[in-house]
Structure 1
Amino acid sequence: MRLLLLFICLLLYLPVSAQDAGNTDGEGQKRLLYFADKHNSPYSLSKPLEFLSPKALERRKRQNISLTTRDLPVNPAYVAALKDAGIKVWYTSRWFNAAVVQCSDEQLQQLETLPFIKRYRTLNRLPIQTEELHTLATQHAVVDKSDENSLPVPDREGYNLAFHQADMLGADELHAQGFAGSGITIAVLDAGFPNVDKLQPFSHLFEDNRLKATFDFVLKQENVFGADSHGTAVLSTMAAYAPGLMIGTAYDANYMLFRTEDAASEHNIEEVNWLMAAEFADSAGADVINSSLGYTTFDSPSQSYSYADMDGNTTIVSRAADFAAATGMLVVVSAGNEGNKAWRYISAPADADSVLAVGAVDSLGVKARFSSMGPTADGAVKPDVVAMGQRVYFLNASGGLAQGNGTSFAGPIMAGFAASLWQEFPDKSNMELLKLIRRSGSNAATPDNSIGYGIPTYERVLSVLPLLEGEVQALITNPVYQEQVILYLAEEWLQQAVEVQVLDATGKEVFAQRIQQPAARQALALQPQALQAGLYLCRVRSGSSVLTLRFIKL
């Protein structure tokens, strides 16, 4: 596990016990067994309520996502055969068609002879003896009231010192419009949530039935309110509601809290825990996954990854993240804190192509030195966007306001913003929302591997939305002051070179530019300070298509 957070404040670390260390003797090791098929299973795509909740099916229906065999649980006959062979089964995975088991090397040799076992991977974790859990989809009843009364909208003073990190994205403007994530469920995958059940800024989660599920995939128990305090800090940037102390970016949302990380060590089992939590989130009807976790290197003897593995298709967790996105959930992950270290690059699952990977900037919008860089190993631009991640305010496990650095904060701040935005535009699919957030970034014209598409804002979302919905073909900054003039172009205008002319009110040309490779958001090279106050026309031509826009220089 790598927690993508650098605390300025003091943290307490638990010592590593002998039981927590990765073992090498093979006795009782955890393995991921892949099954050969899902043939002759009692489960059927025609009876999805046997393995998915109504909310999970509603999410798919809303986004026109069809069920596939990947959604089917594993064949229970295969699981029964493993038990009959004396194998302890911990979890089963629908998406990977696999089971997490505990077995010795000798037992593994016997398992490899079974016709339904395709292959295996050793996860190198000693188990903690607890009660067995097989099917995650039915473990927790998701209470679904008609989404709870919204909390009073805070004023600026209500955010206290956390105002700027919300205001940088325009989350406070969303809140003022009545959109703070109500009706959206965010699953938070982290290393523990100590005292969340006791601290007043989280009390609304319990009083208003906003906490929909909890599970600790490390200890196999429902209680997640212990272990590492990283999750409490992360959660506060989204969910906190304590006017005068701190307000999170999606304080009105519902939450699911899942512990997938053991902060004392780093092994591949934590990727599998992430997979299990994501499947649980899917089956229980979550809309957004937030994860401030990243994977590159592991404790021996677990297998570490190289930069070449950061291609979005190799690591367990990146494949899991893409599968999660395929179900219609918006997956928001932190990019990593290796930007000023030898590794330098993003970590998994930030390399997955269907996730929103979030880097960090300071309060002035300048990239934080520690924020991990792109591209992915296969050349994709990463991070996707950035948010404030340097000197961010959060709540510690004692309920006090603290300050720290890390993409761990940038990710959930962005996830809360996205959830609030999705409340306003519920007809959007997860990928449409991801695209909208990218296109609304401050660097959308020239995305790079430092800050990606830049800092998205609610104001720019409202500007580019008509383009994405096909209501208009182009937009331009209006009015113009002394900042750059920005031309926004619809998709069909991005396929070939365009010619741009700016004419004054008399029809005289004051500026002309040919754009060989138009971007979604193009900063024009004219100098606004040289323009006289008045009305201007901007004529855009591509082939036989011509349109004219008007703007005013003040």
Structure 2
Amino acid sequence: MPAATQAQALPASGQANTVRKHLVYFRDKTGTPFTVSQPQAFLSARAVQRRTRQNIAVQPRDLPVTPAYVTQLKAVPGATVWYTSRWFNAAVVSCDSATLRNLQALPFVRSATTLNRTAAAGSAPVRPRSFEEALDPALERTQANPVYGTAYKQALTIGAVAMHNAGFRGEGMQIAVFDDGFPGVNQSAPFASLRNEGRVADTYNFVERTSDVYRIASHGTNTLSTMAANQTGVFIGTAPKATYRLYLTEQTSAENPIEEVNWLLAAERADSAGVDIISSSLGYYDFEIAYANYSYADLNGRTAISSRAATVAARVGMLVVNSAGNSGRNPGPSLLAPSDADSVIAVGAVDSLRNYAAFSSKGPSADGRIKPNLAAQGVRAAVVNIAGQAVRSDGTSFSCPVLAGMAACFWQANPRLTAQEVISVLQRSASQATSPDNLLGYGIPNAVAAYALANPGAPLSAGRPQAVVGQLFVYPNPMKNEELSLEVSEALRGKALHVRFYDARGALVAEQKLPATTAAVLRLQPGPLAKGMYTCDVTAGDTTRRTARFVKQ
């Protein structure tokens, strides 16, 4: 849902003793016990590995805030510290205006932004523009597929079905979903494999500071289903074997800047956990208080809290996929933050015939960049509701995760690529690659074409993938017993290999040294492994290194 604000304190209104939330910015990180040389103290091993694979250095912005500053904030009477932000070097504090003045007087505090206000009594607050039209229970049975159910066409259009047939269903990939609630995901049949296989790695409700995300509202259930639902003949999403982290960031009762800060906090939590992809069907533009609204000039990727957060998320190696918005019927550019960020995939919507959806928000960004970047089906998109039923709905809220799930499978198949390279290849594969516009950007991507671009001379094939130069494959994936084979590319043949196996936390669980050979397939012996996700890391000498992810069932 749209919301927005600028990074400044809002004018005072209402009672002086009204308690509100504020983002309190610190001047520095002086005295922090953390260092960039020891990131394992504040980042998971998986997060460090993601940076290492993409040659991304840990920077001071990644360091947690100075603990002594937080202690002093908590010591101010009337102040409650809810959260801290590494990237913004700030804290979310709940207090009244008098207490806020005391906080701002502290020598280490730079400034403060008020995050939640309500419209004055009797005024008509700006209501959020819905990302989707009402669910339609009338399914087009003729469009259903015996395997994918009604989700078939939207997956087929972007090449996700072909990725699945080639053995890439998102195994080993982690996707964080930001939304307003996920009721039914913990109970209904289409999500049974997600639960039974332990692929919900984390849940957190940033609105209430609890782990309960299975309530509040159902938009998150709908968006998640387009990727994660996995019930043969009913609904199969675009990444049915990925692992998910479910974050409730939206406060449905009102539109306020606190929701953008929740987006920021969720992105930092996803980063710390080592998430690969963020799928966010959220947007910010209008607030309860009109003077806090964004203008088009603000949609330059550098102003909105959520856009600034999305930019950092991209800089640390996560692939950020965000809905462009549903304001396309408005005259002129109609993007919502954070889709204006420069390093994210802003997703527009098309219908099943690949035509532009009139509601899909238009670009460019305020600084003239092509937006949206890509598009997928968002008109009568197939989704799962809280009762576990396949229904249809409209909105870029659904084209976004449909595409994000495909991107997870594509990145699984091409783990050597950086997040920004994934964006580039997907854009080059798309239907308007040579003539992008501000309705659909580079157009509708195709995973098969993208794979061919990333692997010249080795097209995607059904069944066990082919080994190619620069690529590492292990199979079967998922691994069911203790049998695992390594299909060796030319770059690794004739060299002694050192194979290491890491679990999802980044801990070394097994290793094996293999003598030099010209064989194309080698038998690996990781030994008995517990169920879960693993990384196979292969090095040859000092310069050649390849990794592949696999799942042990």
TM-score by length of structure 2 reads: 0.75
Establish whether residue 272 from structure 1 lines up as the match of residue 272 from structure 2. no
After TM superposition, the structure 1 = structure 2 runs for residues 192-207 of structure 1, keeping only pairs within 5 Å, are 192-207=181-196
Report the residue type matching 1:346 in the other structure.
Answer: L
1:446 to 411, 435, 454: 435
Larger Rg over CA atoms: 1
Q: State the distance in 1 between where 2:147 and 2:163 align.
A: 15
Residue 342 of structure 1 deviates from its aligned partner by: 4.8
Establish whether residue 84 from structure 1 lines up as the match of residue 108 from structure 2. no
Report the residue type matching 1:37 in the other structure.
Answer: D
Q: State the distance in 2 between where 1:403 and 1:164 align.
A: 12
| CA shift in 2, pair 1:452/1:105, >3 Å | same
What is residue 477 of structure 1 aligned with on the other side? none
| CA distances 1:43-80 after superposition (whole Å, capped 9, x unpaired) | 12222122111110110111111000001000010000
| CA shift in 2, pair 1:165/1:120, >3 Å | same
Establish whether residue 415 from structure 1 lines up as the match of residue 404 from structure 2. yes
| CA distances 1:327-374 after superposition (whole Å, capped 9, x unpaired) | 100000000000013575111000000000100000110000000000
Q: 1:310·1:347 contact (CA, 8 Å) conserved in 2? A: yes
What is residue 473 of structure 2 aligned with on the other side? none
| CA shift in 2, pair 1:259/1:125, >3 Å | farther
What is residue 116 of structure 1 aligned with on the other side? 108
Establish whether residue 73 from structure 1 lines up as the match of residue 64 from structure 2. yes
After TM superposition, the structure 1 = structure 2 runs for residues 151-162 of structure 1, keeping only pairs within 5 Å, are 156-162=145-151
Question: Equivalent pairs: percent with the same residue?
Answer: 48
Q: State the distance in 1 between where 2:117 and 2:42 align.
A: 28
Match of 1:160, SS state, is: coil
What is residue 97 of structure 2 aligned with on the other side? 105
What is residue 529 of structure 1 aligned with on the other side? none
After TM superposition, the structure 1 = structure 2 runs for residues 227-306 of structure 1, keeping only pairs within 5 Å, are 227-300=216-289, 303-306=292-295
| CA distances 1:65-97 after superposition (whole Å, capped 9, x unpaired) | 100000100001000001111210000000000
Match of 1:167, SS state, is: helix
What is residue 177 of structure 1 aligned with on the other side? 166
What is residue 422 of structure 2 aligned with on the other side? 433
What is residue 15 of structure 2 aligned with on the other side? 25
Q: State the distance in 2 between where 1:468 and 1:376 align.
A: 37
Q: State the distance in 1 between where 2:416 and 2:14 align.
A: 51
What is residue 34 of structure 2 aligned with on the other side? 43
Match of 1:286, SS state, is: coil
Residue 23 of structure 1 deviates from its aligned partner by: 7.9
Say which is worse superposed, 107-116 or 31-40, in terms of deviation. 107-116
Q: 1:123·1:302 contact (CA, 8 Å) conserved in 2? A: no
Match of 1:378, SS state, is: coil
Q: State the distance in 2 between where 1:218 and 1:48 align.
A: 28
2:349 to 332, 351, 360: 360
Residue 204 of structure 1 deviates from its aligned partner by: 1.4
What is residue 372 of structure 1 aligned with on the other side? 361
Say which is worse superposed, 294-303 or 424-433, in terms of deviation. 294-303
What is residue 46 of structure 2 aligned with on the other side? 55
| CA distances 1:261-307 after superposition (whole Å, capped 9, x unpaired) | 01221000000000000000000111000000000110126711011
Q: State the distance in 2 between where 1:357 and 1:400 align.
A: 28
| CA shift in 2, pair 1:233/1:345, >3 Å | same
Establish whether residue 386 from structure 1 lines up as the match of residue 378 from structure 2. no
1:208 to 197, 213, 224: 197
Q: 1:23·1:29 contact (CA, 8 Å) conserved in 2? A: no
What is residue 385 of structure 2 aligned with on the other side? 396
Report the residue type matching 1:64 in the other structure.
Answer: N
After TM superposition, the structure 1 = structure 2 runs for residues 460-539 of structure 1, keeping only pairs within 5 Å, are 460-466=449-455
Q: State the distance in 1 between where 2:275 and 2:447 align.
A: 23
| CA shift in 2, pair 1:301/1:115, >3 Å | farther
Q: Which runs of 5+ in 1 are unaligned?
A: 4-21, 127-154, 473-554
Q: State the distance in 2 between where 1:393 and 1:40 align.
A: 52
| CA distances 1:149-200 after superposition (whole Å, capped 9, x unpaired) | xxxxxx9521012100000001000000010110000000000001110011
Residue 40 of structure 1 deviates from its aligned partner by: 1.1
| CA shift in 2, pair 1:82/1:397, >3 Å | same
Match of 1:294, SS state, is: coil
Q: State the distance in 2 between where 1:271 and 1:362 align.
A: 29
| CA shift in 2, pair 1:192/1:79, >3 Å | same
Q: 2:163·2:169 contact (CA, 8 Å) conserved in 1? A: yes
Q: 1:124·1:302 contact (CA, 8 Å) conserved in 2? A: no
| CA shift in 2, pair 1:117/1:71, >3 Å | same
Q: State the distance in 2 between where 1:24 and 1:339 align.
A: 36
Establish whether residue 317 from structure 1 lines up as the match of residue 309 from structure 2. no
Moved over 6 A (4+): none
Q: State the distance in 1 between where 2:163 and 2:271 align.
A: 26
| CA shift in 2, pair 1:24/1:183, >3 Å | farther
Q: State the distance in 2 between where 1:176 and 1:352 align.
A: 33
Q: 2:332·2:362 contact (CA, 8 Å) conserved in 1? A: no
What is residue 536 of structure 1 aligned with on the other side? none
Q: 2:50·2:317 contact (CA, 8 Å) conserved in 1? A: yes
Q: State the distance in 2 between where 1:282 and 1:302 align.
A: 32
Q: 1:358·1:386 contact (CA, 8 Å) conserved in 2? A: yes
Residue 466 of structure 1 deviates from its aligned partner by: 4.7
Residue 211 of structure 1 deviates from its aligned partner by: 0.6
Q: 1:183·1:254 contact (CA, 8 Å) conserved in 2? A: yes
Q: State the distance in 2 between where 1:117 and 1:308 align.
A: 29
Match of 1:161, SS state, is: coil
Establish whether residue 2 from structure 1 lines up as the match of residue 8 from structure 2. no
Q: State the distance in 2 between where 1:420 and 1:2 align.
A: 29
Report the residue type matching 1:103 in the other structure.
Answer: C
Q: State the distance in 1 between where 2:291 and 2:386 align.
A: 31
Report the residue type matching 1:272 in the other structure.
Answer: V
Q: State the distance in 2 between where 1:418 and 1:401 align.
A: 23
Q: 2:2·2:336 contact (CA, 8 Å) conserved in 1? A: no
Q: 1:241·1:248 contact (CA, 8 Å) conserved in 2? A: yes
Match of 1:159, SS state, is: coil
Q: Which runs of 5+ in 2 are unaligned?
A: 4-11, 119-143, 459-467, 470-553
